Homo-oligomer: A and B are copies of this chain.
Amino acid sequence: MPREITAYSNPLIKRVRSLRDKRHRRAEGLFLAEGLRILAEAEEAGTLPLMLFHARDSADHPIVRRLSAATEAAGGDVIQTVPDILHKLSGKENPQTVIGVYAERLTPLESIDRATAPIWIVAQSLRDPGNLGTILRTGDAVGAGGLILLDESADPFSVEAVRASMGALFTQAIAHAAWPDFIAWLRAGPGQLVGTSLNTDTDYQAPAYRAPVFILVGNESHGLPPAYEAACDLLVKMPMRGKADSLNAAAATAVMAYEVLNQQRRGAATI
């Protein structure tokens, strides 16, 4: 049977609310995901919440019912509550929402099997959690295996990143590494490191990409450091027809990732 909590002052509500803060996420190893669509994607990817909060009124919703049963069967907690408390937990106005508490799941770099996917995305010092989540979503779409975050990075488990990922957080491996560790790991196996850069004349459609392709995108403001560019197998750039010299980092990643996928669809990438 689901528990019921209707008091703001309940310590569990305070604890879950605190997961909106990075420090508490790190301390607990937990994060929040919100919304039926994302929780259903997580379930489909084989991940159930440790705690599931939903409004009493939505207990009969078929997806809520299925998620609740699966969560309880896996030993998790299902908590019925009131719209005001859901609003407090989620920061959103929609009282129909559901909220899941999940265990953070970073994959150690050495556990990544690069042979499992033809595309991997590598992002250096990404600052914006919305960009990070959007890149995860794009990675899922192109059949990438995961996202490797280099150096200081926005938190993939922040509410904004989880929301922007639209569930891809649960389908993509996520690793976090310092540059020296990443490049040592990369060079211990096959893999073409392709950096998007302004410091090249090579059009991004010119090379034949060879799987596994590691697409490397730089920080939103500064791009890639020179040493990182020097370590790439290829530097490429998108044509820029206007006044601006670059795309948004997540938009650039999508354009680049679809070029690699399109080559793979034409059978050109595995030559």
Contact = CB atoms under 8 A, between A and B. Distances in A.
User: Chain A: interface secondary structure?
Assistant: helix
Contact of A241 (B44, B239, B246, B261): B261
Contacts of A140: 241-244
Stoichiometry, copies per complex: 2
Given A130-B130, A164-B248, A251-B251, A243 B171 contact: yes
Q: How large, as a class, is the contact surface on chain A?
A: 35 or more
Contacts of A138: 247-248, 251
A3 interface: no
A253 to B, nearest CB: 8
A205 to B, nearest CB: 6
A262 interface: yes
A258 interface: yes
Nearest to A135: B251
A41 B243 contact: yes
Contacts of A41: 243-244
A167 to B, nearest CB: 6
A251 to B, nearest CB: 4
Contacts of A139: 242
17 contacts: A41-B243, A44-B243, A134-B248, A134-B250, A139-B242, A140-B241, A141-B238, A141-B241, A141-B246, A142-B241, A143-B242, A164-B248, A168-B244, A171-B242, A248-B254, A251-B253, A254-B254
